[in-house]
Structure 1
């Protein structure tokens, strides 16, 4: 397997913030020696400008992905459960602004934004005139795509947040007003529209390394998801339909013209298949073994002994509720790829791995397989808390479900939406549904994307009435193995409306009291 060398960057300190500039590597996956340089002398060649956004695909995301995304997406939603004192409050809706995980969320996502802003605001004035404008615009499109993604997480987690388009504007004035949710979404859409118009078109082939960067099609797919959240069903359908018809992406496995027979749902999560034809946008992690340059999720998800290091903390287990949600554990191929049953055998894992009969992540009597990829020797490198497997942010399987949901809500052809839903089901080994409902789409999203950190947002966007009822009736308990068969120690918690958004970190409100004041409309005049 070709070793991944994506996260290989140089850095420069601008003012006093950690605004980073990327590597001057000729190869997207290559790392040059680290040294300091000046932005004024860096963006001189096409190769340098093409490498400009490399670092935005990895390091600034580390704390969010490793420590936050699963706590919000899986614990709060009831897909997972834990006794871990650091994150158990996500299970029972007891999160306050003092919680360090929220601070990590805020800091990590705004670091992504700050570093994106650095590129967006520096490149146009520093680039050598010999570099073609389309090369410059493509790098700016990458940065704006990634900035939009970070804001998409922030607005779904916190609601109204400050829109910062240039961090240097606030060096001497750290008090920044928050902006209305609708303005944050407008800012996101403008970034993605720029990306859609300026990123390169791609034809994705068998050289997966060439698929690592986002494309114009990636931006169109992400924009379809934004319109889905805004309940603009017609636009969500139109854009997702365009991406489907483009043929750029394929289901890894599945049938029909947009099914890639070289893979399967299970194969999506093998490191060797990073940047496969289903990947629309994925974070790219390094084999270097350096902390924050690799993917830290396996350390939290894996059972002890799998990684080859002293990690493997089993910090979260698949909830009893999620286990019961699979309609057919034997037939649905996603179960084996997501959840480790006692005695299951995984031939790819460390040359062959049999799950222990007493596996019991957090009282659930099972473990997690998704994003658990094994030791460095069989996995292309890495080290403790630093593994080389990609993290999906958006993939084609989800785009098909976006297409289906938009269609079933009246945004487009019901028949075409049904086809998209059933492509996902058939790839999973399940029978098609002749006349699916929106409840079927919601259920399919839960199973298809389990432990990909999306389910909390899916629950909340259904509206308060649905979300409060669903969350209050989600089983978050454990098995009692002192009985035969095991009985359930039931745990259910009832959220309030306030729990559907997370509080701002207390240190942020102390440093920026404007967060506690009413939102202020964002001035878009500079963007017109």
Structure 2
């Protein structure tokens, strides 16, 4: 049973209700019964809470439309074929996306829907004085920051909107410089960290109330803020002043770990099981099965072949493969994360015979599940900020501020390696010889830890490795056509951003300039 069912409450607010509309008083108007509009809603604390739930609800598409189809396919974790017909994921993966690629518009719209819902909440909550007002504002601003963090990393300069705006007004909102967008994100997360509780688990006498566990906490805001600062330290801003700020936030989150907050899971595979939702991660998106459209689609999206003894529904089977770097000696079997992340062959559980040999990602699939109602109805949550992310970012920060890897940085990365069943680094290890060697070791560790979670592309970009790594990767894995294999073009800085969707540019032709290098 999920502790926090924001998706259930959110259904009482229709999408159309979130798009504000006005009505002249001299026109007969009867409030709709089935679908509340903004003007008829936000009458009491319960309805304001439902408004907060609507923002969380808007985030449910992020793992699919943002982290998978944009971030993961853009990285060297997935090798998509050069399609002979239009396939958005292929265009994204092979750096052929244009302003007319539908997936870019879908993700842009999803992210700004979160922003809009957060802005509506911020406006409508103003008259209230109940105890949870600042908490609700903090949740709204945390989720708005989460959306803007993706927007600025995918598109660079984007319009900052901090209040609900109408169609005509929205046409004249300029794209703000990248530095201003990051300042906006930092302001939101700072407010959230100051106004969100450390935990939603309340003990009354001998009873424990965990009804609201799963909502964004102070620690979620601080962890995301630490990641934002670390990104600001890297490409494109390269603000050295952001590094000590990242250290402060990550150090505080690391110190807050414990049995009642978040921790490194003793068994890697346990992280992704529905029974352990909200147990180890700092913040997760909440899903539930039952055929109501609120299940997790990621297991289906990332799979290739699901035999009936794995799942009653087939996988998506997109035209992509997993690269050689994930197999053989590159990623040894002794690393427990490997078997929990992917399958190189499907074996009959009774006979042991191989029934399919196509490698696929199965990190989020609980094999043998039978309760789901359709192919996108999986119950397990999706982690947005895992504690392991905090641990490795903290190790990275300590290394960056020192002349050589300090002992604490080794302790941190070894927390992850020990849990994974692989050898720990020592001061004599080649990976600890220099700052540069340890930096590369952390980047590699993050790859294996977060495959299929939408982290790799952003890691490559902020560390300045995306152009070199992805050019070499595409030349080694992308077919043999004129646009692939050894003939794949040299990537450049314009490839680090996506083009602004064409429909957004057409809202006010000539007002925004397209990102360089795109039509």
Q: Normalising by the residue count of structure 1, what TM-score does the alignment of the two structures yield?
A: 0.79
Structure 1 residue matching 2:158: 3-state secondary structure: coil
CA RMSD in angstroms, aligned pairs only: 3.5
Question: What does residue 238 of structure 2 align with?
Answer: none
**Equivalent of 2:145 in 144, 148, 162:** 148
**Equivalent of 1:161 in 154, 158, 161:** 158
**Equivalent of 1:414 in 406, 412, 432:** 406
Question: What does residue 57 of structure 1 align with?
Answer: 56
Residue 502 in structure 1 maps to residue 502 in structure 2: no
Give the Å deviation of 1:247. 2.6
Question: What does residue 357 of structure 2 align with?
Answer: 359
Residue 434 in structure 1 maps to residue 431 in structure 2: no
* Preserved CA contact (<8 Å) 1:340 1:368: yes
2: distance between equivalents of 1:359 and 1:492?
28
Worse overlay, 170-179 or 466-475: 170-179
Structure 2 residue matching 1:393: 3-state secondary structure: strand
Give the Å deviation of 1:56. 2.2
Give the Å deviation of 1:319. 2.5
C-alpha change, 1:196 and 1:251, in structure 2 (3 Å) is closer
**Equivalent of 1:198 in 195, 200, 207:** 195
Question: What does residue 449 of structure 2 align with?
Answer: 448
**Equivalent of 1:268 in 247, 271, 276:** 271
Residue 469 in structure 1 maps to residue 468 in structure 2: yes
Question: What does residue 295 of structure 1 align with?
Answer: 296
* Preserved CA contact (<8 Å) 1:3 1:287: no
Question: What does residue 338 of structure 2 align with?
Answer: 335
Give the Å deviation of 1:316. 5.8
Residue 70 in structure 1 maps to residue 73 in structure 2: no
**Equivalent of 2:244 in 221, 226, 234:** 234
C-alpha change, 1:19 and 1:90, in structure 2 (3 Å) is same
Deviations 1:328-371 (A, max 9, x none): 4221011011111214688xxxxx997944331xxxxx111112
1: distance between equivalents of 2:139 and 2:149?
15
2: distance between equivalents of 1:214 and 1:196?
10
* Preserved CA contact (<8 Å) 2:325 2:331: no
**Superposition pairs of residues 86-235 of structure 1, within 5 angstroms:** 86=87, 87-125=89-127, 127=128, 129=129, 131-132=130-131, 135-168=132-165, 171-202=168-199, 210-231=212-233, 232-235=242-245
Residue 392 in structure 1 maps to residue 383 in structure 2: yes
Unaligned runs of 5+ in 1: 21-32, 253-257, 347-351, 361-365, 481-488, 520-528
Worse overlay, 308-317 or 332-341: 308-317
> Matched residue pairs, number?
469
Q: Normalising by the residue count of structure 2, what TM-score does the alignment of the two structures yield?
A: 0.81
Deviations 1:77-130 (A, max 9, x none): 1211223641212222111111011111111111111111111111122x3x4x
* Preserved CA contact (<8 Å) 1:472 1:493: yes
C-alpha change, 1:38 and 1:319, in structure 2 (3 Å) is closer
C-alpha change, 1:165 and 1:375, in structure 2 (3 Å) is farther
2: distance between equivalents of 1:247 and 1:183?
32
Question: What does residue 371 of structure 1 align with?
Answer: 364
Deviations 1:357-405 (A, max 9, x none): 4331xxxxx1111122357634xx4523232221111110000011001
* Preserved CA contact (<8 Å) 1:449 1:455: yes
